[in-house]
């Protein structure tokens, strides 16, 4: 009964939010054209897409502890349960002798951070002390994916594993968002993210709804298997 009341309380809180925050980044993969990534935050819900309301999107529900991947073309929703970081650490063991180095340098009102693993630069990011609640949501979103990333790490052949992946996606998931909102991020593999702008907009609850008629699958974070749910499961 308490869980039900908690659920309805969380939904009511998100429904009552009068505003949402939009953050736009310019993302780029190595040797690929740059593209816009739109992040919308309303209460304890976070949506990520490419700037269009009707396209596929990712939804993170912090209260439910779950990330949803919505594919309109397949009429399918895939759920990824969040796991506590202590449990994540038991899935993918940290290799003995691996050393993490985190360096922070002031740069006016902002800060330049570098994360290294065994002297290899894994990520460099410049952060600003703004949008603290939204930044925390982005950090929690990255942590929510850490369990699934740990399973993927275990399933990757030894010779194909990239140490920085274990650091940034599993061990220290969300590291880029712990020192403030990133203005620019550069990763070891050539990926980059550059802040464009942010704005406060009128809330649009429909953008955070899951299509009720779509098939749903939930990944078992501890096993990597899929468990099918009834399509009539209530949308969140």
Q: What is the pLDDT of residues 139-195, one digit of tens each?
A: 999 999 999 999 999 999 999 999 999 999 999 999 999 989 999 999 999 999 999
Structural domain contains residue 235: no
Q: Quote the number of domains for the chain.
A: 1
This prediction's pTM: 0.84
- C-beta of residue 34 within 8 angstroms of C-beta of residue 53: no
CATH number of the domain residue 146 falls in: 2.50.20.10
Per-residue pLDDT tens digits for 68-90: 999 999 999 999 999 999 999 99
Structural domain contains residue 234: no
| Residue 108 DSSP symbol | T
Domain extent, residue 87, equals 2-229
d(CA 81, CA 220): 7
Structural domain contains residue 23: yes
Backbone angles phi, psi at 125, to 5 degrees: -145, 140
Structural domain contains residue 60: yes
Q: At 17, list the tokens.
A: 């939010």
Structural domain contains residue 91: yes
Mean pLDDT calculated for residue range 14-26: 83
**Nearest CA-CA partner of 124 in 39, 219, 22, 194:** 194
Structural domain contains residue 180: yes
């Amino acid at each position: 009964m308490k869980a039900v009341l908690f659920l309805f309380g969380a939904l009511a809180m998100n429904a009552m939010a009068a505003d949402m925050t939009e953050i736009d980044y310019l993302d780029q993969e190595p040797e690929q054209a740059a593209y816009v990534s739109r992040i919308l935050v309303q209460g304890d819900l976070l949506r990520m897409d490419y700037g269009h309301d009707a396209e596929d999107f990712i939804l993170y529900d912090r209260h439910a502890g779950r990330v949803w991947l919505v594919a309109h073309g397949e009429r399918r929703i895939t759920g990824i349960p969040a796991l506590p970081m202590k449990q994540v650490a038991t899935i993918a063991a940290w290799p003995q002798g691996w050393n993490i180095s985190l360096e922070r340098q002031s740069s006016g009102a902002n800060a330049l951070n570098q994360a290294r693993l065994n002297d290899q630069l894994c990520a460099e990011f410049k952060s600003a002390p703004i949008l603290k609640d939204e930044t925390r949501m982005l950090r929690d979103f990255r942590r929510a994916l850490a369990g699934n990333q740990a399973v993927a790490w275990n399933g990757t052949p030894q010779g194909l594993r990239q140490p920085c992946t274990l650091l940034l996606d599993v061990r220290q998931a969300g590291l880029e968002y712990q020192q403030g909102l990133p203005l620019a991020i550069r990763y070891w593999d050539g990926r980059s993210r550059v802040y464009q702008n942010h704005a406060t907009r009128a809330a649009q609850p429909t953008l955070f709804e899951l299509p009720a008629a779509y098939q749903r699958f939930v990944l078992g974070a501890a096993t990597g298997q899929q468990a099918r749910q009834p399509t009539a499961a209530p949308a969140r």
